[in-house]
Structure formats: C-alpha cells, structure tokens
C-alpha cells in the first residue's frame, strides 16, 4: 500500500491497517499547530511510510519521514 492509498481510507480502515500491518515504534508527542500543548500518541511503521496515531485515535497522520528519527537527533 502506498501513502496516497492510505490517505484515501476511512478512519476505521486506517485503524485496521495499523492494527494488522503496522509496527509500533514508540510513543511520540506531536507539536500543535498553534504553539499549544503537545498531543501524545504513537508512531507506527507501515509499509514504506510512518503513521502518527493520537491517544484518542482521532488524529491519524501519515508521513514519508520517521518523526522519531528527528526527535532522537535533538
């Protein structure tokens, strides 16, 4: 599956993909868009991209780069 195909899935199907095909890499706190508090969640490796999933499972953000690699470098 490509990142583009993943973006087209419903929320339920995205969660199913993460459950059955994703690899949990660890916890991650995502910066808010307006300098607010960070949002806790997890990072998953899925096929050839990564996915952020918030703790409440309402925010699902695929990415072509691993945000954990950036956080570890800081």
Question: Listing from the earlier edge strand, what are the strands of the sheet with 49-54?
Answer: 23-30, 39-46, 49-54, 60-63
| Partner residues linked to 29 by β-bridges | 40
Rounded CA separation 31/37 (Å): 7
Which percentage of the chain shows pLDDT scores above 70?
Answer: 93
Domain boundaries, the chain: 3-73
Find out whether 47 and 21 touch, Cβ atoms under 8 Å: yes
Question: What pLDDT, on the 0 to 100 scale, is given for residue 20?
Answer: 97
Q: What's the pTM?
A: 0.86
Sign of CA dihedral 20, 56, 52, 3: positive
Kindly report, residue by residue over 3-30, the tens digit of the pLDDT.
999 999 999 999 999 999 999 999 999 8
């Amino acid at each position: 599956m490509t990142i583009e195909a993943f973006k087209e899935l419903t929320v339920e199907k995205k969660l199913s993909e993460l459950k059955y095909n994703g690899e949990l890499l660890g916890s991650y706190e995502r910066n808010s868009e307006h300098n607010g508090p960070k949002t806790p969640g997890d990072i998953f490796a899925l096929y050839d991209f990564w996915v952020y999933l918030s703790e409440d499972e309402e925010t699902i953000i695929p990415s072509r780069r691993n945000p954990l690699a950036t956080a570890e470098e800081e």
